[in-house]
Amino acid sequence: MRSKLPDAASSRKMAASSAVVAILASIWLCSSIAADASGSSSETTMHTNNWAVLVCTSRFWFNYRHMANTLSLYRTVKRLGIPDERIILMLADDMACNSRNKYPAQVFNNENHWLNLYGDNVEVDYRGYEVTVENFLRVLTGRHESAVPRSKRLLSDEGSHILLYMTGHGGDEFLKFQDSEELQSHDLADAVKQMKEKHRFKELLIMVDTCQAATLFNQLHSPGVLAIASSMKGENSYSHHLDSDVGVSVVDRFTFYTLAFFERLNMYDNASLSRLFNSYDPNLLMSNAYYRTDLYQPNLQEVPVTNFFGSVMETVHTDSAYRAFPQKNTPRETRIRTGNTAEDDSRRSILTDMTKAECPFTRIVSSLESKMETVGNLDSLVNYGLVMILPVLVVSVWLST
């Protein structure tokens, strides 16, 4: 017969072993939490909105093409769905009303002058001398003075896809800002790293159209960043053509072929990023377009360009009004597809998965509710119930007389 009372030695042993187990369990728990935290990458959050930061870093009349580049991309991005409130446009803005402009208040990106880029709904957020490296970095990191209005802030969150487009004059690991400052590659990398720490983006596409643009990405480390440049180290990016009427080159090659790709698209096309990248022909560009995908996990062939260049969202249609607290999806909600593949669903799965109480009463009630929802319109049920009153009444009256 075993003795019921353990002696002192065995009790100490049990205490020690339980302490070890507890420590191990806590270590495992902490590590799992840490792994979870570090591993909480873009797969667990949902893509909620799209932002675009379009920067033209040059000024003066002979840099007309840089402004035309930026305005063309602005127009494309707006056409594909990103609204003005989610576009930060930084331009020197001294071309359209320049005294040397033969076509006042008009900016073209092609010598056929088909498209006036400077229409009547261009919203420039930072213009003139406000386009500085400091402001640019403030926009990226979100560290503003309190008096800066909301329209000048990048109000992205952890579900945002951001397109960052920069054009101007650049060189080996730098980008010239308004002929007086420069943005270096480590500045950019630091800013992107801060953005990642502050969960200011889910995915970031940086597109740079300058000479030796690829060197600007040398210091980037943050995950979720896709970078594309117009030329490699040692190569220049050239302008496309000269408009003899305006007198200056009106567009750069890289941007020209990018726009050519996008002009064939509308909002509902799901052309992939790999198609965009493969459309750059080095012979036409006269430089080697370079893209960096080692920091970007999703497969480029499955990412539609509208993930960055447009604002195409998956909408969930509900019958009821917007509730304050999230609830489990009922079968009534239908999803409207906008040409996305099924693989995107897994990345866009909703994080909040409320665990239901396991009380049998609530289970019965919820099963009744689900059955009622499958019945059809609740109003018709109520109407049937009301109509049923009459025969029940007649029968009961007849029975009791």
Partner 1 sequence: MATANTEEEKSKSEQQKNHGGGGGFTRWAVLAVIFRLILIYFPGNLNLSSRPEVSTPLTSIRRLAEGYWLKQSSMSPYAGSMYHGSPLLLSVLGPLTVKRTILTYSVANAELKGSLVTFYADLISGILIRATGWKLQMTYRKSLKSLNLLNKSTDSGGLSSGDIAALVYLWNPFTIVACVGLSTSPVENLFTILTLYGAATGIAPLAAFGWVMATHLSLYPAILIIPVILLLGYGPDAPPSKLFRSKENGKVGDDTSSQDIIFSWGRVLHLLVWTSMWSVYVLVLCSISVKQHSSLQEMFQRTYGFILTVEDLSPNIGVLWYFFAEVFDFFRDFFLIVFHSNILFMILPLAIRLKHRPCFLAFVYIAISSMLKSYPSVGDPALYLGLLGLFLDELADMQFSFFLFCGYVGVSLLSPVMHNLWIWRGTGNANFYYATAMAYACFQIVLVVESVSSMLNHDRKLMKLSASKLQK
Residues in contact with partner 1 by the rule CB under 8 A:
319-321, 369, 372, 378-379, 381-383, 385-386, 389, 393, 396-397, 399-401
Q: In angstroms, rounded to a whole number, what is the distance separating the alpha carbons of residues 167 and 276?
A: 18
Shortest Cβ distance from residue 372 to partner 1 (Å)?
A: 7
Our answer to whether residue 113 is catalytic in this structure is no
When the beta carbons of 148 and 382 are compared against partner 1, the nearer one is 382
Rounded Cα distance between 136 and 256, Å, is 25
For helices 378-400 and 360-375, the axis angle rounded to 10 degrees is 100
Catalytic, out of 169, 241, 317, 359 = 169
Smallest separation, CB 352 to partner 1 (Å): 21
Q: Between 5 and 386, whose beta carbon lies closer to partner 1?
A: 386
DSSP state string for 199-212: T--SEEEEEEESTT
| Shortest distance (Å) from residue 320 CB to partner 1 | 6
Q: Which is nearer to partner 1, 99 or 400 (CB)?
A: 400
> Which of 1, 321 has the CB closer to partner 1?
321
What's the closest the beta carbon of residue 379 comes to partner 1, in angstroms?
Answer: 7
- Tell me how far apart the alpha carbons of residues 315 and 48 are, in angstroms, rounded to a whole number: 11
List, as one string, the DSSP characters of 247-305: SSEEEEHHHHHHHHHHHT--TT---BHHHHHHT--HHHHTS--EEE-TT--S-GGGSBT
Helices (H) and strands (E) in the chain, counts: 11, 14
Asked about 169 being catalytic, the answer comes back as yes
Task: Indicate the DSSP class of residue 306.
Answer: H
Say which DSSP state 213 is in: G
d(CA 284, CA 286): 5
d(CA 211, CA 167): 9
Q: Which of 47, 66, 161, 211 is catalytic?
A: 211
Count Cα atoms within 13 angstroms, Cβ side, for 331: 10
Distance CA 23, CA 19 (A): 6
Three-state SS sequence of 160-190? EEEEEEEECCEECCEEEECCCEEEEHHHHHH
> In whole angstroms, how close is the CB of 344 to partner 1 at the nearest point?
29
Nearer to partner 1, 30 or 375 (CB): 375
- Non-local (6+) Cβ contacts of 104 within 8 A are 96, 97
Could you give the 3-state DSSP secondary structure of residue 12? helix
Query: Hunting for tokens 């195409």 — which residue is that?
Result: 312
Rg (CA), the chain: 30
Question: Between 354 and 392, whose beta carbon lies closer to partner 1?
Answer: 392
Closer to partner 1 at the Cβ: 3 or 400?
400
Among all residues, which ones are annotated catalytic? 169, 211
